[in-house]
A = this chain, B = another copy of it.
Amino acid sequence: MKKITIGEAARQSGVKVPTIRYYEGIGLLREPSRSEGNQRAYEPSDLNRLTFIRHARELGFEVEAIRTLLSLQDNPLQPCASADAIAKARLVEVEQRIRSLMALKAELEMMVEGCGHGRVDQCRVIEVLADHAQCTHHGH
């Protein structure tokens, strides 16, 4: 039950110090106890929570989604349909994002390949941007 400082918590969780304080401010993290000199004193369970949050952020979940996921974690006997739904929604988002980035990549490659490294008035990069009709992908 040894408590640690915010700096140590940052080091162990991989979440930066101001970000930890920010998470406390928005209520993702409970307010920890304080030392005599008013410094935050974290417990191991706070570290788990921080790691959970960091991981979820890395997976691109929004803070509101993480709030829900955390409350689910706090109530382990509930059905996990919500967690499943949140993850599935995120998966759909990611798949969509990948698709549009692939189209974009193709378009950028064409621009770069077509650039003859001459003058701007012959440059496909500028040309494609100026004239949307030249895009191969018209989704956007």
Q: Are A120 and B52 in contact (CB under 8 A)?
A: no
Q: How far is the CA of A101 from the CA of B58 in the complex (A)?
A: 10
Count this chain's copies in the assembly.
Answer: 2
Q: Are B129 and A80 in contact (CB under 8 A)?
A: no
Q: With a CB–CB cut-off of 8 A, which chain B residues contact A90? A: 108
Whether A136 sits at the interface, judged by CB under 8 Å, is no
9 contacts between A and B (CB under 8 A): A48-B130, A69-B126, A72-B123, A77-B120, A79-B118, A80-B125, A83-B115, A83-B125, A98-B102
Given contacts A77-B120, A80-B115, A80-B125, 17 further A-B contacts (CB under 8 A): A48-B130, A55-B130, A55-B135, A60-B104, A72-B120, A76-B119, A76-B120, A78-B119, A80-B119, A83-B115, A83-B120, A84-B117, A84-B123, A91-B108, A95-B105, A97-B101, A98-B98
